[in-house]
Amino acid sequence: GYRGRIGVFELLVMTDALRPLILRRASIGEIRAQARAEGLRTLREDGVAKVLAGVTTAEEMLRETQDYE
């Protein structure tokens, strides 16, 4: 079993480049592309980092992030 819980996180920081996209109701694809260009780390990427650090397993990370990406 697992002891405790480990969070995986994705944080979208509002920037001058993202603000007009959101205000004009750009597609999620456009917003995501801009956020990624500015360094956004996705839930899956954060999960992979935790797998590589030995904090969780690949199976657990894939199960918990499968519907997101």
13-37 pLDDT, tens digit each: 999 999 999 999 999 999 999 999 9
Overall number of domains in the chain: 1
Which class for 47: exposed (0-12), middle (13-18), buried (19 or more C-beta within 10 A)?
buried
What is the DSSP code (8-state) at residue 55? Answer: S
Query: Is 5 a member of any domain?
Result: no
Query: Is 47 a member of any domain?
Result: yes
pTM summary value? 0.76
Query: Is 7 a member of any domain?
Result: no
Domain assignment of residue 39, given as a range: 17-64
Q: How far apart are CA 65 and CA 6, in angstroms?
A: 13
Question: Is pLDDT above 60 for 69?
Answer: no
Question: Is pLDDT above 80 for 41?
Answer: yes
- Give the whole-number percent of the chain exceeding pLDDT 90: 80
Query: Is 58 a member of any domain?
Result: yes
Helices within 1-69 (DSSP H only): 18-23, 28-37, 43-52, 58-65
